[in-house]
């Protein structure tokens, strides 16, 4: 298969939409690969489709956005916002999650998904978005967040363990709308 050129990439149609039950097999497969092979998540066991459906339904039921990206009709990744913490005082703060299919890495999918999450969460009146980046070696995720206005607010050293090694966790933060400058409505 020929390598895509810059003009081919530019003309490829990227479409973002809300996730549906029809997306769960692709979401489950991508997340399983992350669990199995990488450290973006510290989960050890690959959840099955029923568990991923339960998680998706819980996030959507709370009113948070859960998005899918398609390029030329093919699944390219997914992203969602969820509660940063469950205590009521954190209700204006969300955590973002973004996963991009390996065939689409470096093609703007992650940036489009994260920007849409930022826009959707701002429209919902949320005030802060937090990124919890699994390990300092995940430079692509850190760079993506920095490009969209996140700043590193802390690194927890050795907070998790996976694949036989201790992992640092990078905490990043970005204000949404007026952030903490005004009271919420």
* pLDDT, tens digit (0-9, with 9 covering 90-100), for 5-41: 443 444 479 999 999 999 999 999 999 999 999 999 9
The sign of the torsion formed by the CA atoms of 121, 64, 16, 185 equals negative
Number of domains in the chain: 1
Give the pLDDT confidence score for residue 12 in this predicted structure.
75
Once rounded to an integer, what is the mean pLDDT over residues 126-136? 96
Span 59-81, pLDDT tens digits: 999 999 999 999 999 999 999 99
Paired tokens of 169: 């966790």
Please check whether residue 180 lies inside any domain of the structure. Answer: no
Please check whether residue 32 lies inside any domain of the structure. Answer: yes
Residue 83 confidence (pLDDT) above 80: yes
Please check whether residue 66 lies inside any domain of the structure. Answer: yes
Confidence of residue 114 (pLDDT cuts 50, 70, 90): very high
Please check whether residue 1 lies inside any domain of the structure. Answer: no
Please check whether residue 72 lies inside any domain of the structure. Answer: yes
Interacting residues of 74 by C-beta distance below 8 A, sequence separation 6+: 103
Give the pLDDT confidence score for residue 3 in this predicted structure.
47
Confidence of residue 185 (pLDDT cuts 50, 70, 90): confident
What size, in residues, is the chain? Answer: 185
Exposure b/e, 36-51, CB count within 10 A at least 16 = b: eeebbeeeeeeeeeee
C-alpha count within 13 angstroms, C-beta hemisphere, residue 29: 10
Please check whether residue 112 lies inside any domain of the structure. Answer: yes
Interacting residues of 58 by C-beta distance below 8 A, sequence separation 6+: none
Place of tokens 């398609």: 70
Q: Return the percentage of the chain with pLDDT > 70, whole number.
A: 94
Query: Residue 131 maps to which CATH number?
Result: 3.40.630.30
Please check whether residue 181 lies inside any domain of the structure. Answer: no
Please check whether residue 101 lies inside any domain of the structure. Answer: yes
User: CA geometry: angle at 185 spanning 66 and 61, to 5°?
Assistant: 25
3-state secondary structure of 119: helix
Residue 176 confidence (pLDDT) above 70: yes
Paired tokens of 1: 């298969």
Phi-psi region of 96 (alpha: psi -120 to 50; beta: other; left: phi over 0): beta
Backbone angles phi, psi at 97, to 5 degrees: -135, 130
Other CB atoms within 10 A of residue 156 CB: 12
Give the pLDDT confidence score for residue 152 in this predicted structure.
98
Span 142-172, pLDDT tens digits: 999 999 999 999 999 999 999 999 999 999 9
Give the pLDDT confidence score for residue 2 in this predicted structure.
42
Range of the domain at 71: 6-175
Give the pLDDT confidence score for residue 163 in this predicted structure.
95
């Amino acid at each position: 298969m020929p390598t895509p050129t810059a003009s081919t990439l530019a003309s490829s149609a990227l479409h973002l939409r809300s996730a549906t039950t029809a997306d769960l097999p692709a979401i489950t497969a991508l997340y399983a690969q992350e669990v199995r092979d990488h450290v973006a998540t510290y989960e050890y066991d690959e959840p099955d489709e029923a568990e991923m459906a339960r998680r998706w339904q819980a996030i959507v039921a709370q009113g948070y956005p859960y998005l899918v990206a398609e390029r030329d009709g093919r699944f390219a990744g997914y992203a969602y916002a969820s509660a940063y913490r469950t205590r009521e005082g954190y209700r204006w703060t969300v955590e973002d999650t973004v996963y991009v299919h390996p065939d689409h890495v470096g093609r703007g999918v992650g940036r489009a998904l994260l920007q849409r999450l930022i826009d959707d969460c701002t429209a919902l009146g949320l005030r802060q978005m937090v990124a919890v980046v699994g390990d300092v070696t995940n430079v692509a995720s850190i760079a993506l967040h920095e490009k969209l206005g996140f700043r590193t607010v802390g690194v927890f050293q050795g907070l998790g363990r996976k694949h036989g090694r201790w992992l640092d966790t990078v905490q990043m933060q970005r204000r949404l709308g007026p952030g903490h400058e005004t009271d919420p409505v």
